[in-house]
Structure 1
């Protein structure tokens, strides 16, 4: 099976012999934190060592980094391992995924023997009608992004509140993908609800915000009783020793400057991109986003934007594999200012060529 994901730099380097400017993977361009760069030799020394089997070490480190209770944390080999674990373990047959959503959820729960129902919702104004249709799917398990990938915008407050009340009333499982919540300062996180509802599972990533996808780190947040049972179903040594060392270093460090820099630069680059995008809005529709990436749609169905950027040494993410979207939808991540300027310059060239062909 061939998966479609962003961040395929290894494959492209082997194929083309050169590195691309990667807008396809939504990674913090202002990371990793400098403390990891400075202590790389300390991290490297653990390459020849087995990682800890005791998850309490990981729980303590992650708890110190985020402020969550350690007993609510199940460390995983990236958020993806947590997703596939839930796909295997959660009881019930009917799964409703609020789409568009990270594509691995559908595959993970289908491999777990579940029946998948897709519900498409972009957070438009028809919230009440959308809720009525959503609830008629009668799921045993409901999956949603917060904010959703690839849209990047949290659902309306009323929608989130109604979903939560429905889940409590029906007693169903709720899986919430929050791998980009750090970029929103945890504003809409469900993490504060896990002590009150044992059927809530929050999926988190260590790799997006801290810009360490190569080290594969993530975790599930859930009720301590769930952590106790789930850890028996996860493979030993799932989290590698280099990441273990990185987590220890991060847990002992003052990360306030890194967080402030990330939020400050994110705000600045979002304002820059959104302001310049206005000149292209008649050709390329940009969707609102609160985080470090944007979804957009090319309004001319014949245009091949992916190939256009590829030929100019830039990778963007086609969203044609997402349920409910087609080949006219794309996602880009924010990068440094000079890189964003280069992207906008290429986009202007694309739009000019398209307008001239009309």
Structure 2
């Protein structure tokens, strides 16, 4: 899906005052990152490392795994398509609702696609596919698979490769990364993002952590020089300064709790629970597409129309929490929307 994601303010003629459509950290990149990246500008005069090997080494040391277990990518979307290409033609299941690129990548590489609703997944579920794509925490719902459930599923389905997308793992206090489970399970592949929590989606940077065998298989299909020199430099800075570059996630989650409570008091909306800073809502007046257009046109506020997520409806939208000041703008605007006269 080339279009239909969030953060599409560039497609609107009205100026955007606050962007709630994206689940990227709203506070911007860590202090010092921009200066460091530009200090490395001379590196653009030559080819970058073929596989960003030095960054792979740094990531491996951070997670306590072998460098042969890490593959750096140009963002999680590249990782998704690389997985789909590596295991082309396999039977794959996507846990839904989910990021559309799992389905799109699988269709591109001729997978036999099946879908499993999140609420139907049980501790002892038999997947029956060679691959299972899971986003944990999930996008767009903010649901999580607990370690107990994930461990049970991995054990119950040893022939299924669990492709676990942890792009939003930093945005929840309910679970932590499943990377330690790699010591116990070889049917687990974890995709990580460095763009959401550090607010650098324009740089495109992520990585995969898995067994040496699985990473070796991925490397056979990896294009050379896919990760540019500036993205590699950003990665080096982030891991070298890891302790001090983390945004205030506890405060962000507290602000989200306040925002969701305020919106839940709006009788014209249904607000759904979430373990992350982003959450789903549904309008009881009109459609999410109409609401999105109205908010942009009249208030300069952008939300994510979530109707194109499989299993969701034309009424569903997604909101990513921002600052308390911005959040109040949205609360006020949505109250105005629900009190409009019927169209």
Q: TM-score, normalised by structure 1?
A: 0.86
State the Cα distance separating 1:80 from its structure 2 match.
Answer: 0.6
Instruction: Tell me how many residue pairs correspond in the alignment.
Output: 341
In structure 2, what is the Cα distance between the partners aligned to 1:278 and 1:321? Answer: 23
Confirm whether residue 101 of structure 1 aligns to residue 98 of structure 2: yes
Q: Tell me if structure 2 keeps the 8 A contact 1:65–1:250.
A: no
In structure 2, what is the Cα distance between the partners aligned to 1:134 and 1:111? Answer: 27
Q: For residue 138 of structure 1, what is the aligned residue in structure 2?
A: 128
Please give the per-residue CA displacement for 1:197-216, whole angstroms capped at 9, x wherever unaligned.
22211111110011100000
Q: For residue 287 of structure 1, what is the aligned residue in structure 2?
A: 272
Report the 3-state secondary structure (helix = DSSP H, G, I; strand = E; otherwise coil) of the residue aligned with 1:131: coil
Equivalent of 1:341 in 315, 328, 342? 328
In structure 2, what is the Cα distance between the partners aligned to 1:76 and 1:31? Answer: 22
In structure 2, what is the Cα distance between the partners aligned to 1:186 and 1:221? Answer: 21
Please give the per-residue CA displacement for 1:176-202, whole angstroms capped at 9, x wherever unaligned.
111000122682432112233222111
State the Cα distance separating 1:151 from its structure 2 match.
Answer: 0.4
Q: 1:315 to 1:234 in 2, by over 3 A?
A: same
Confirm whether residue 164 of structure 1 aligns to residue 154 of structure 2: yes
Q: Tell me if structure 1 keeps the 8 A contact 2:52–2:232.
A: no
Report the 3-state secondary structure (helix = DSSP H, G, I; strand = E; otherwise coil) of the residue aligned with 1:152: coil
Equivalent of 1:48 in 45, 53, 57? 45
Give the gaps of 5 or more residues in structure 2: none
In structure 2, what is the Cα distance between the partners aligned to 1:92 and 1:199? Answer: 18
State the Cα distance separating 1:91 from its structure 2 match.
Answer: 6.1
Equivalent of 1:24 in 18, 21, 31? 21
Give the gaps of 5 or more residues in structure 1: none
Q: Tell me if structure 2 keeps the 8 A contact 1:201–1:220.
A: yes
Root mean square deviation, CA, Å: 2.6
Q: For residue 79 of structure 1, what is the aligned residue in structure 2?
A: 76
Q: For residue 150 of structure 1, what is the aligned residue in structure 2?
A: 140
Please give the per-residue CA displacement for 1:281-338, whole angstroms capped at 9, x wherever unaligned.
x321111122221111123455731122121222211111111112111111112222
Q: 1:210 to 1:167 in 2, by over 3 A?
A: same
Q: 1:17 to 1:320 in 2, by over 3 A?
A: closer
State the Cα distance separating 1:7 from its structure 2 match.
Answer: 1.4
Equivalent of 2:256 in 270, 274, 285? 270
After the TM superposition, which residues 187-266 of structure 1 pair with which residues of structure 2 at under 5 Å, given as runs?
A: 187-253=175-241, 255-259=242-246, 261-266=247-252
Report the 3-state secondary structure (helix = DSSP H, G, I; strand = E; otherwise coil) of the residue aligned with 1:97: strand
**Larger fraction in helix:** 1
In structure 2, what is the Cα distance between the partners aligned to 1:31 and 1:187? Answer: 24
User: Runs in 1 of length 4+ with deviation above 6 angstroms?
Assistant: none
In structure 1, what is the Cα distance between the partners aligned to 2:61 and 2:32? Answer: 16
In structure 2, what is the Cα distance between the partners aligned to 1:329 and 1:224? Answer: 41
In structure 2, what is the Cα distance between the partners aligned to 1:245 and 1:163? Answer: 37
Report the 3-state secondary structure (helix = DSSP H, G, I; strand = E; otherwise coil) of the residue aligned with 1:105: helix
Q: For residue 311 of structure 2, what is the aligned residue in structure 1?
A: 324
